[in-house]
Structure 1
Amino acid sequence: MNRKTRLATALVAGGVLTVGAVTVTAPAIAGAGPFGRPTASTSWFGTGQGTAGNGMGTAAGNGMGSALRDGSCLSPSASVPSGTLSEQQKTTLASMAQEEKLAGDLYRAFADTYPAVVFDRIAAAEDQHLEAVRTLLARYGIGDPTADRPAGQFSDPAVQATYDRLLAEGSASQSAAFGVGQQVEQADIASLQQALTGLDAADVAQVYRHLLAASQHHLTAFTTWATR
């Protein structure tokens, strides 16, 4: 069964066909997260949701219930005003696009390899998240570092190295791939929390908060699947 057929079958079985009801990852900021030096709470460069019956329902079933219901309103609302970003905050926003692409490309690669539908769903979420970030990049006149880059290819050598390492790690087994998902989401949460500190631009803060909540749901989903 190919990936699209597997996903459709699982969604029909779980009765969840809502459009855009998926989740998020987060940005990497300079000096932390996957593209900078690791902190005590992140180890990027270290060594390295239906019913319980059908695997797609409530969070109590497998950690995907909440994840399937957030992420549908990620794009900044037109009613939320733009603000002013420092050069560091602009760098953070651009690196967020790289992080969304990295996560999406990883999860899609794992979805093509393993039968766990969690990879399909969260990979689809990353597409929405990247578009939300791109909306902000355009609004603030910041170049998109992911533009015209095929899956698994990145303009930044450090990002490329991180992707290659995590892909190799997750290719060892499905269990290892769940572990990679947990690493990504844990680092995302730490990065987003730091990115929100001192941020005055309301539209960017709105998106970051959505990404943070969704990344927490993703972590729950991967953790639950890893312990099944």
Structure 2
Amino acid sequence: MKTNNRRAAMVVTVGAIGLTGIAIAAPALADDDTYRPRPASTATANPGGYGMGIGQGMGSGSGFGFGFGFGGGMCGRLPVTAPQGTLTAAQKATLASMAQEEKLAQDLHGNLGARYDAFVFEHIAVAETQHLNAVRAMLQRYRITDPTAGQAPGAFTDSTVQATYDKLLAQGTRSRAAALAVGQQVERDDIAALNAAADGLTAPDVQQLYARLSAGSQRHLAAFTHWADR
């Protein structure tokens, strides 16, 4: 069971980082240390320091988290600064599918995070929300319909994505170890999908977005692997 203290710390941390106001922005990225377990005694206030966690900006104000100072988990807000290009019909469809991929990761990590005492899930679910918001903003830029709009957690318009989510969720609910293995698999799949999507792509802004999403997924994979190897 999760402790009330850890849940309270998580609420304060997530409240401090903020989840709104992201324009065309790359996902917030963090060092692997963000997700490493900390002794309970270190979950203390850090006035004047850098709040630990996944977020937009490095906010120098007070914050609560697991650990102190720069340790890891510090990340700046990284806007997509590259100019807009052109996308083929196939590339537009792929960009739309990326929204479903990011929503799958967000919903799955959030669901498993509610089941197991491993805050890596909840931290990465927050990051995946930023990933999804970044993809949605790019969809809006290119006037592409967002297939995830209005969809409840765990619900997808694509039947294949829905089947994948249901399968991975069933696997992850078997045990904590199985859940961590699912977390790794989701990130591996995201990296592979992003690499494939980047092939032949010429639009600079979408190239930049995919590169940053891939970098984030690689960090998430390392975090899940660290927890699985504990």
Report the TM-score, using the length of structure 1 for normalisation: 0.74
Aligned position for 1:133? 135
* 1:72 aligns to 2:77 (yes or no): yes
Matches within 5 A, 1:58-137: 68-70=73-75, 72-73=77-78, 75-77=79-81, 80-137=82-139
Distance 1:5 1:103, change over 3 A: farther
- Residues 132-183 of structure 1 deviation map (CA, whole Å, 9 limit, x = unaligned): 0011101101100000000001111111111000000000011100000111
RCO comparison, higher one (Cα < 8 Å, 6+) = 1
Q: Matches of 2:101 and 2:193 in 1, distance apart?
A: 10
Identity %: 49
Unaligned stretches of 5+ residues in structure 2: 20-26, 44-51, 53-70
Q: Is the 8 A contact 1:98 1:159 kept in 2?
A: yes
Q: Matches of 1:7 and 1:208 in 2, distance apart?
A: 32
Matches within 5 A, 1:79-228: 80-228=82-230
AA aligned to 1:76 is V
* 1:54 aligns to 2:39 (yes or no): yes
Q: Secondary structure at the match of 1:224?
A: helix
Q: Is the 8 A contact 1:3 1:112 kept in 2?
A: no
Q: Is the 8 A contact 1:23 1:126 kept in 2?
A: no
Q: Is the 8 A contact 1:71 1:214 kept in 2?
A: no
Unaligned stretches of 5+ residues in structure 1: 25-48, 58-64
The count of corresponding residues between Structure 1 and Structure 2 is 192
Q: Is the 8 A contact 2:36 2:120 kept in 1?
A: no
Report the TM-score, using the length of structure 2 for normalisation: 0.73
Q: What RMSD in Å do the two structures reach over aligned CA positions?
A: 3.0
